[in-house]
Amino acid sequence: MRTSEELALSYVLISRSSLCACAYCRLRRGFEKQAQPAPSSALVVPSTIGSCNAEWSVPKSRCGDVATQQQVEQHISSNGDMAVVLYLHGGGYYMGSPRTHRRIVGHIALNADCAVLALDYRLAPEHPFPAALDDAASAFRYLVRELSIDPSRIFIAGDSAGGGLSLALAATLRYAMQQASQPRHGLVDSTEAWRDTAATRTSSCLLAPYC
């Protein structure tokens, strides 16, 4: 089964769940309460990418203690050696946010000395497939078109459901670039990706070119 089809199936399973809207709200609130702060050396900047909220996380050694979205993005655009990670959070496609993943995203930014964009993509069941995939693809296009970041500098990453979404995005980008006969670059990393919705295989950490 192709990655996009697996992602679609997971959304169908969520939409058919017997959980009511209130139950989803309670699960989301509980997940948010477990959120841990970003490392003190990482700067978290609330941002807006198209119609989605997001957060940039960058080392303070790069941008100082205070910065706006515009300042962070200008710094990234003007530093051609700085890698950019598009991070897609886990949470079963129905919960989670950049806030719940600030700690891991901050550590990625610090350990890799890079800028990490954590996207608050739309969640199921209110927003069925392919809403989250569309949001992720729009964020990638924003990095390339609006910030003029070469695709070879962009690393797509995610955990659990976000890892599955990362793989789906990689497949989508690969197909689009093949159709346009564009050069293909970049890497995708999915940690414990939820891509086997039938639970027939063991999840794993994948690091591979997305194009």
User: Could you state, in chain order, the average pLDDT of each consecutive group of 10 residues for the chain (211 residues)?
Assistant: 54 54 84 95 97 97 91 94 95 96 98 97 93 97 94 92 93 79 56 52 47 43
- C-beta of residue 95 within 8 angstroms of C-beta of residue 41: no
Q: What is the pTM of this model?
A: 0.82
Residue 116, amino acid = V
Can you tell me the distance from the alpha carbon of 164 to that of 193, in angstroms, rounded to the nearest whole number? 5
- pLDDT attached to residue 22: 73
Q: Please name the helix (run of DSSP H) or strand (run of DSSP E) that holds residue 58, with its range, or none.
A: strand 52-59
Residue 205 pLDDT: 46
Position 178 scores a pLDDT of: 72
Looking at residue 204, its pLDDT comes to 45
How far apart CA 150 and CA 154 sit, in angstroms, is 7
Give the model's pLDDT for residue 16. 53
Q: Give the number of other Cβ atoms within 10 Å of residue 206's Cβ.
A: 16
**Antiparallel, parallel or unpaired: β 154-159 and 52-59:** unpaired
